[in-house]
Copies of this chain bind each other. A is one copy, B any other.
Amino acid sequence: MLSFRSVFAGTLRQEDMGGGALITALWLRKSAGHVMLNPLRLSPFSSSRRTVFGLSASRCGLIQRKMTENGVASRRGKVLTIDTLNPCVKKVEYAVRGPIVQRALQIEKELKEGAKKPFSEVIKANIGDAHAMGQRPITFFRQVLALCSFPDLLDDGSFPEDAKNRARRILQSCGGSSMGAYSASQGIDCVRQDVARYIERRDGGIPSDPDNIYLTTGASDGIVTMLKLLVCGEGQTRTGVMISIPQYPLYSAALAELSAVQINYYLNEERCWSLDISELRRSLAEARQHCNPRALCIINPGNPTGQVQSRQCIEDVIRFAAEEHLFLMADEVYQDNVYADGCQFHSFKKVLFEMGPEYSDTVELASFHSTSKCYMGECGFRGGYMEVINMDPEVKEQLTKLVSVRLCPPVPGQALMDLVVNPPQPGEPSHANFLKERSATLSALAEKAKLTEQILNTVPGITCNPVQGAMYSFPQITIPERAVKEAKEKGQAPDMLYCMKLLEETGICLVPGSGFGQRDGTYHFRMTILPSTDKLRILLDKVKEFHQCFTQQYS
């Protein structure tokens, strides 16, 4: 089919409009910025050629549809159009990099080209991208990566011995001692061993088997792979997967792509985004009417909601999964990002094993970690791992086979994952500096978490739960009725209208709550706590001011 965007004007020479007819025409096409006149000749194999000229786009649409129904036109024009694209791909949405971010990038370009705006820079508080917001990498990690990249530096006296030792150990595990070799598809052996030992230390000695560790291309890759294994069935037996609302949109996007059923359970905003088992039950019972629920996804600490689950809650979730025969997926990429007093990270693995063999021998669990968050924030390296517990050995074989098709996760990301789980130890030359850098980042984040909650809660019409962990606040915002109406007229979510105006007026880029899901009639935004304290303060003040103006404007 012709793309309507490329049709401007022209005259239609139509020899026959019926099925299988030949249509010759001259048509105008916009290509690489300039309009060209293209004579279309019919090759001997063409059974039809369709062009639409001197017609309005809607009229074109009618004809186009008619001809497609005839089953003729679909044989010419583009092979791949929005109408013939994989319908599952069309359903995918990913707000964290959606239209608002596209517009932010555009505004950045406009600013560069000298456009006058009421602000001088765009502040991207839409995505948990620590380095982009100025956080410095951990020196030791980068030293080791440099050594692994260019091993001649192993002779350089300026690198500390512990960094060199780590680099040597990683390189010895690489084919030909090079990060340029493929690793095993499951990941480099020694890295998987280090991951297992890290998990054992973290979980108070509960054993972890390197054979259960799969290194991944960021946590996203592991999550999508696990979902891929779980999806089957058609119609009423289609796989359903329970995800929290609000959720991180990777989940909804992956489920859409895999054509699985998304089962929403709502977090309790009134109780600091906690998870109520009664809500899990409600959600599951409803879902069982129309699909086959097979998995339950949990994000702890929460994204975008920043809550940290209590040990009791995790136990309840595990019991629920066991009773209801659900595969558990625990997204724990923010496991070091816990700030609130009295909050502590408990891994699902640890709680599962502490609940005794009735659970630890039966409940199937995949948990995910990443190099992208916590104190390191190394998103660009796409490092990550997953640990699978109680996975059927035949399924594990299938998993290993499946990941082998993509050959291996990026080796520099694997090396970085190794450093995260095996950082400098007491007595090693880099230990003191590592601790200093790590605690500086984590305590700054804790301070910014508090600051965000405090300032936002001073704004009438904004209520913000404590940011107990992770990297985001997800405050509820009151949007005046008139603004809601205006948004609806535009076919926009009201919080999208809000965030878009905020961006245009202040240069602050946030993600509307509608991109994560929220209870009907409530509105939110997600804002990272990653800008430097000074910048964050300015940002929060600007949001405050904007919110007051916005409310006034639409009252």
Given B84, B378, B413, which contacts A232 in the complex, CB threshold below 8 Å? B84
Most chain B beta-carbon neighbours within 10 Å: one of A92, A133, A325? A325
Q: Are A178 and B80 in contact (CB under 8 A)?
A: no
Contact with B along A116-138 (1 / 0, CB 8 A): 00000000000101111111010
Contact B92 A401 (CB under 8 A): yes
Min CB distance, A222 to chain B, in Å? 12
- Answer whether A364 and B79 are a contact pair too, CB < 8 Å, given A232-B87, A411-B381: yes
Determine the distance from Cα of A171 to Cα of B252 in the docked complex, in whole angstroms: 33
> In the complex, what residues of B have CB within 8 A of residue A153's CB?
146, 153
Quick check: is A183 within 8 A (CB to CB) of the other chain? Answer: yes
Does A176 touch B at the CB level, under 8 Å? yes
Interchain CB contact (< 8 A) of A253 among B29, B80, B405: B405
- Taking the nearest CB of chain B, how far is it from the CB of A160, in angstroms? 12
Tell me the minimal C-beta distance from A428 to chain B in angstroms: 18
CA distance A535 to B319 in the complex (A): 58
Docked CA distance A178–B46 (Å): 52
List B contacts of A82 (CB < 8 A).
392, 394-395, 398
Q: Mark A166-196, 1 if CB is under 8 A from B, else 0.
A: 0000000011101111111100000000000
The verdict on A327 contacting B80 (CB below 8 Å), with A220-B406, A411-B380 known, is yes
Q: Are A323 and B43 in contact (CB-based, < 8 A)?
A: yes
State whether B181 touches A131 (Cβ < 8 A).
yes
Query: Which residues of B have CB within 8 Å of A96?
Result: 404
Tell whether A231 is near chain B: CB-to-CB under 8 Å.
Answer: yes
Chain A residue total in the interface (Cβ 8 A)? 123
Interface members, chain A 411-441 (any B CB < 8 Å)? 411-413
Given contacts A364-B80, A410-B412, contact A229 B86 (CB under 8 A): yes
Separation of A361 and B28 alpha carbons in the complex (Å)? 11
- Establish whether residues B137 and A145, one from each chain, have CB atoms under 8 Å apart when the complex forms: no
Stretch in A31-39, A261-269, A487-495 with 4+ CB within 8 Å of B: A31-39
* Bound form: Cα–Cα A211–B229 in Å: 34
B150 touches A143 (CB 8 A): yes
Q: Are B79 and A325 in contact (CB under 8 A)?
A: yes
Q: Which of B32, B85, B392 contacts A229 (CB 8 A)?
A: B85
A131-B406 in contact (CB<8A): no
Question: Whole-angstrom distance from the CB of A306 to the nearest CB of chain B?
Answer: 20
Q: A81-B395, A323-B43, A405-B94 are in contact. Are A361 and B181 (CB under 8 A)?
A: no
Identical subunits present: 2
Complex contacts, A381 vs chain B, CB 8 Å: 179-180, 410-412
CB–CB A382/B410 < 8 A: yes
> A310 in the interface, Cβ–Cβ < 8 Å?
no
Whether, in the assembled complex, A6 has its beta carbon less than 8 Å from a beta carbon of chain B, the answer is: yes
Closest to A382 in B: B410
A294 contacts B by Cβ under 8 Å:
yes
- Give the nearest-CB partner of A145 in chain B: B149
**What residues on B are CB-neighbors of A327 within 8 Å?**
79-80
Instruction: Say yes or no: A405 contacts B220, CB within 8 Å.
Output: yes
A249–B405 Cα gap in the complex (Å)?
Answer: 8
Please determine whether B220 and A402 come into contact, CB atoms closer than 8 angstroms. Answer: no
Shortest beta-carbon distance, A434 to chain B, in Å?
15
Whether the pair B218, A406 counts as a contact (CB closer than 8 A) is yes
Residues of B within 8 A of A382 (CB): 217, 407-411
**Cβ of A354 under 8 Å from chain B:** no
A453 interfacial contact with B, CB 8 Å: no
What are 12 inter-chain pairs, A to B, with CB distance below 8 A?
A: A41-B358, A43-B322, A76-B325, A82-B395, A129-B175, A129-B182, A130-B180, A137-B178, A149-B412, A180-B381, A217-B410, A380-B410
Extra contacts, 18 of them, besides A129-B181, A131-B175 (Cβ < 8 A), are A3-B392, A29-B361, A36-B361, A40-B362, A43-B322, A78-B364, A81-B392, A82-B392, A85-B229, A97-B407, A127-B182, A179-B380, A181-B380, A217-B406, A228-B257, A381-B410, A412-B412, A412-B413
